[in-house]
Structure 1
Amino acid sequence: MYKSSLLVLCCFLPWITPSVGQSVCGNDQYNPALSMCCNEVVQPKSGFQPSCCGTRGYDARLSICCANNIQPRSGIQPSCCGAIGYDAAFSMCCSGTIQPRSGIQPSCCGRIGYDAAFRKCCDDRLC
């Protein structure tokens, strides 16, 4: 009985106390110099700016995380519209729809983009 208790303690001790230089992610140990913990899933670090998108790893200098969906980072102002990436310098997100940014005062009226300098929005409709 003593040997089996010692065996159980021996086998579970590494999960309770990480080794020197190790961290715990969920039920796994990992080396934080080489890997990262993304929502309790160990992922390898890669790229210039390793980041997590849900349970997946990605390079935040090349991609953007939109609603746990990795999208290419492009344009002057990379942004998200729901799970889709877009450039906020030239477009805008209107209730989940990407619309072109144009006019003096680009604004949204519901899902429609418009120029607020020349039109009005009344209850999500242009009036």
Structure 2
Amino acid sequence: GTTIGNIASLALSGLLCNVNIDNGWPMIYYFFGGMTALWFLLWTFLVYDNPKTHPRITEEERLFIEQYHAMSSAGFMAGKSKFPFKSIAKSRPVWAIIIAQSCNSWTSYTLGTSMPLYMEEVLRFDVHI
């Protein structure tokens, strides 16, 4: 989702710059701000805090969720299952994943923010297509 969103937003930003309203470039902020407001409204009215208040969940589903949650939290609260923070922090595979993900994120964001400038100034592409 993130990669597709980045590709789509970069492509849309070039198109929105060509709109002859308010010199074009503010349309990028208006459009994505509007999309964020729409997402917020949908989230506010469609997502619920717990199964008890959800209007579109059946009684059977609600009971299943509540029973499963009660069983898993009861075992954790009784001390039967302790979360292994120390062994996770010492795990080499976990650190490999953290380092790989950090490098991937840094590269993605660097390319995402620098690519339009590179394409326009070095490759002489018109980013306002």
TM range (shorter): under 0.3
Q: Normalising by the residue count of structure 1, what TM-score does the alignment of the two structures yield?
A: 0.23
* The structure with more helix, counted as a fraction of residues: 2
Task: Report the TM-score, using the length of structure 2 for normalisation.
Answer: 0.23
Which structure has greater strand proportion? Answer: 1
